[in-house]
Structure 1
Amino acid sequence: MSACCTSPPPRCRCISDERPCLLRTRAGLPVTPVPPSRGPDKSSGRISGMFDAIAPHYDLLNRVLSAGIDRRWRARAIASLELTGHEVVLDVCTGTADVALQARRDGAARVIGVDFAGAMLRLGLDKVCSAGQSGRIALIRGDATNLPVHDASVDAVTVAFGIRNVERTDAGCRELARALKPGGRLAILEFGVPTLPGLRQLYQWYFRYLLPTVGRLVSGHGSAYTYLPQSVGAFPSPPDFVTLLRQSGFTDVRAVPLTFGIVYLYTARRAP
């Protein structure tokens, strides 16, 4: 039996992958991890494999390529949730658990992190354990379009730089709404394109040429960093994504540009 099924919880919670177990939320609702698909479609398999390949260098490259600003973006997203110390937060596309850990620092009672890249989760687990948060943060291997939580079971949902990687963005947004309690808060961070002409040109040069080169030299996997600008270019514009969130069951939707529009913070509430 998986270690996360034992009671009391162990010092370092496992990553649930194959055996279902129950993780209790503050409201007492069971959260049942869903095993990853045995035969993922080509797109999902390619993306998860790509993140598994770059996992050892992921955090370092985030710091280097963003000049450390990515930490501020994540902190801003969690601050928008206005946590009071009682919330259960679901962090989708949790990766190496940076946002999950930030949520705990800002007062979340419990955090459930979900990602389909096992290598990323293993690194996240190391960070969670090192921070002494294994009793408060649970990491689960799962899919953003089939989240391993009951309907209306969490108080807040976060997604940092992951929603564009979901094969069907509309299905992913509906799934986020399904997981949230009515009135629950949503915070999504995603890359945008600066609107200032000079900055826009510099940004596009950086994204298309410098970033893939540095990413390839450090990680040895250049394809992941050529995929990044391609995926950003294919993602809906801020007005279109706001519309999509409204159509998915959210109200009070806002798109807040950060760092001159390099990143957007999307905030919303689940409709009553």
Structure 2
Amino acid sequence: MHRLTNRHGLDLPAIGLGTWPMTGADCTRAVHQALELGYRHIDTATAYANEAAVGQALRDSSVPREAIHLTTKVWWDRLEPQAMRQSLEDSLRALGTEQVDLFHIHWPARDWDLARSIETLVQLRDEGKARCIGVANFPLGLLRQVVEQLGAPLAAIQVEYHALLEQSPLLAFARQHDLAFTAYTPLARGEVAEQPAVCAIAEKHGVLPTQVALAWLLEQPGVAVIPKASSRANQLANLAALELRLDEQDRAAMAALPKDRRVVSPEFAPDWQA
């Protein structure tokens, strides 16, 4: 499987399993099944309330823990140093592991001590509780502050990214600073696959529109995807997107799609233009 690596020690399979909003036994079954099918990248978060279910799947699986890249995240209301430490300890306990491979700040907070939070994030990495660290849902200005002003050794950023949302400035910055760029909601909750142009490309190649949407992302340098999938058929289809090769005509059609559709923007979201 194609992997993203960088100077911060990241070794990230380019396609992973997103687990939100799966919980309980359904989540355990889906994660266990994905591991048996060949997935080696599992994405979870404290806010998903499914870390224990993911941990159960890890224990049930025949795949050794060291072969699995595991990402989790701390919620925006727990970014004070001690609260962040406790959040990660709680995550490690629920997941049944001594270390996660990537630990993200899930969302930036408002009126927070950014420097102290980032300092704690780095300390948790240095203490071995997370192999690598990153941030999610940070706009370009805030990411620039963390990387260039605070000098944080971030390995990755995770944001909404799909064929209907422009993220070129953020992606260019990530490449400049050797950050992996993980695209969540890579199908825009089904909207990309409903586009006539995407359906036409899928028909041309004899594949699913969802596979076209994922292949468009996966062929971009430094980009990983974490589509949520619970059924065996969808998990297999998403994996197969790694084998799809788009041509220049396909890329031109994808580039021509509108790029202003953001589907995840809660009331506590940052100013995306900041």
TM-score of the two chains, using structure 2 as the length reference = 0.30
TM-score of the two chains, using structure 1 as the length reference = 0.30
Greater strand share, structure number? 1
